[in-house]
Amino acid sequence: MATLWLQRFWTWRPRTLSARLARVGLWVLLFYVLIALISPLLFGIGLLPDVNTGLENEINAPPSLEHWCGTNRLGQDVCARTIAGAGVALKVVVLALTLALIVGVPLGMLSGYFGGPVDRALVLLMDTVYSLPVVLLAVVMAFLLGQGLLNAAAALCVVYVPQYFRVVRNQTASVKAELFVEAAQSLGAGPVWIMRKYLFRNVITSVPVVLTMNAADSVLMLGSLGFLGLGLPAVVPEWGAELKQALTALPTGIWWTALYPGVAMFILVLALSFIGEGLDAWVSGDEARP
């Protein structure tokens, strides 16, 4: 199945602007994934590419042939930390959204299928979480959980679980009323079999659009946590933390420490947004499927 979809994608000829932008976004995303995979090989020292030589002229050095994007206040290569930050962002985003899917999709199916007190309790809980400001909720969760990659992903996961729950619950309640589900119930099929056989494949179609939109949002959310000094330890090259450190250097004319992490974050968010728009047009039927 995966091979068939990959073959159809490469032969896809997008017709609308949103579909063309989605293809551009996919190429950009693949580039980010590639550099995230090879960055440890390029620098050979894991998440903290540090080129601090102890020399005075290596601190806040402007872009040069030796350091393409310059160095920061610790003498660390900005290009190296920006590239390593791509891997950190992708890891946290993938982990956060995977956790949100694992929690939100089953709860949404259970709520939409069974209804009654279970549905009312889950809807009340999710609506309460959904009503809170997302940035404030992420900040509170990150503060309570502490710093760390897994903790940052968990803090973001809490923000996005209600969205998957609401989408899947509504889809499940709609599909449950279809005749083929009623026929399966009349033949004695159990709830688990019906949800696995009939409901899941019908309700999951709307999730990828929400997923890509949340991916773009979670990159910004992670950057916000890093800018506030939450989420990840200071030694980890995360774009938001890099921007926070660069903020004090901007008035002195040291622009390169803020430019490159900011541009890297902007391009990734834009690419994910393009993919989401293309998927939305595809699902809604505005674009022919590949």
Amino acid at 11: T
**How many angstroms separate the CA atoms of 60 and 103, rounded?**
44
pLDDT in tens, 16-68: 666 778 888 888 999 999 988 887 776 544 334 444 444 444 776 667 777 77
**How many angstroms separate the CA atoms of 96 and 102, rounded?**
10
Averaged pLDDT, 94-119: 88
Contact 143, 80 (CB under 8 A): no
Q: Dihedral, CA atoms, 150, 91, 36, 32, nearest 10 degrees?
A: -150
pLDDT at 252: 78
Averaged pLDDT, 222-249: 84
Averaged pLDDT, 163-187: 79
Q: Poorest-confidence range of 69-78, 113-122, 218-227, 238-247?
A: 69-78
pLDDT at 284 over 80: no
pLDDT at 14: 58
Residue written as tokens 């602007």?
Answer: 17
Q: Which runs of consecutive H residues, i.e. helices, occur in the chain?
A: 2-10, 17-43, 78-114, 116-131, 134-145, 149-176, 179-186, 191-194, 200-203, 207-227, 239-247, 256-284
Residue 97's pLDDT band, with cuts at 50, 70 and 90, is very high
Averaged pLDDT, 146-162: 89
- In the chain, count H helices and then E strands: 12, 0
Residue 99's pLDDT band, with cuts at 50, 70 and 90, is very high
* Closest among 28, 25, 22 to 289, alpha carbons compared: 22
DSSP for 53-111, written as a single string: -S-GGGTTPPS-SSSTT-B-TTS-BHHHHHHHHHHHHHHHHHHHHHHHHHHHHHHHHHH
pLDDT at 5 over 80: no
Q: Specify the 3-state DSSP secondary structure of 244.
A: helix
Q: Dihedral, CA atoms, 19, 21, 24, 28, nearest 10 degrees?
A: -120
Averaged pLDDT, 115-126: 87
- What pTM did the predictor assign? 0.81
pLDDT at 268 over 90: yes
Residue written as tokens 């022919």?
Answer: 288
Q: Give backbone dihedrals phi and psi of 70, rounded to 5 degrees, phi first.
A: 80, -175
pLDDT at 288: 47
Residue 290's pLDDT band, with cuts at 50, 70 and 90, is very low
Question: How distant, in Å, are the alpha carbons of 93, 109, 231 from that of 277?
Answer: 19, 25, 29
pLDDT in tens, 65-85: 777 777 777 777 788 888 888
* Closest among 4, 2, 6, 14 to 30, alpha carbons compared: 6
Residue 10's pLDDT band, with cuts at 50, 70 and 90, is low
**How many angstroms separate the CA atoms of 18 and 182, rounded?**
38
**Secondary structure element (H or E) that encloses residue 234, with its range:** none
**How many angstroms separate the CA atoms of 210 and 222, rounded?**
18
Spell out the CATH class of 74-284: mainly alpha
pLDDT at 95 over 90: yes
Q: Specify the 3-state DSSP secondary structure of 8.
A: helix
* Closest among 263, 245, 237 to 85, alpha carbons compared: 237
Q: Give backbone dihedrals phi and psi of 52, rounded to 5 degrees, phi first.
A: -65, 115
Greater confidence (6 vs 34) lies with 34
